[in-house]
Amino acid sequence: MAGRLVILGLALAAFLAAGCRSTVARQGVHGVSAAWSPPVLSATLEDPVRAPDVAAAAEIALRRMGYTISERHASDDRATVTALAPGGTRVDRIVVKAEPDVRDTRVEIITRARPDEDRARIVLDEMLVLLGQ
């Protein structure tokens, strides 16, 4: 019995470690590099994309996907868009953040209540199409 518990514990630890691994993939027409580290997908968009542009693209993309925009804050430097999943609860949401990073714009797509890389990458793909990236 103790041996089974040890094996089960090791298997669970290996599963969790594999799930926390960062993955990087190219997305969009110009091959934007996006890194997934649960629950955040991060990408850097080249100038002239600004935070308000990202917020507008995120809002359009999320609405097209059936999400409801619950919050939107955008200034010249920073933007945040929060959207509730279709048919989901207040905890099942996506948050898109944008802020300047030297000359480029850093974008983060955060999936809540559970990390979901596929969902985050689909949102980023839709945004990149709208941004011409």
pLDDT digits (tens, 9 = 90+) for 111-133: 998 999 999 999 999 999 999 98
Average pLDDT over residues 1-30: 55
For residues 101 and 77, give the distance between their C-alpha atoms in angstroms, rounded to a whole number.
10
Q: Please report the pLDDT score of residue 40 as a whole number.
A: 98
Q: 22-131, which class in CATH?
A: alpha beta
Place 5 in a pLDDT band, splitting at 50, 70 and 90. Answer: very low
Place 105 in a pLDDT band, splitting at 50, 70 and 90. Answer: very high
Average pLDDT over residues 7-36: 66
Please report, in angstroms and rounded to a whole number, the separation of the first and last CA atoms in the chain. 56
Q: What's the order of all strands across the beta sheet hosting 32-37?
A: 23-27, 32-37, 40-45, 104-112, 93-101, 79-84, 68-74
Interval 78-92: pLDDT, tens? 999 999 999 877 889
The domain ranges of the chain are 22-131
- Which of 20-24, 27-31, 71-75 reaches the highest mean pLDDT? 71-75
pTM score of the predicted model:
0.81
Residue 122 near residue 67, CB atoms below 8 Å = no
Helix axes 117-131, 51-64, angle to 10 degrees: 120
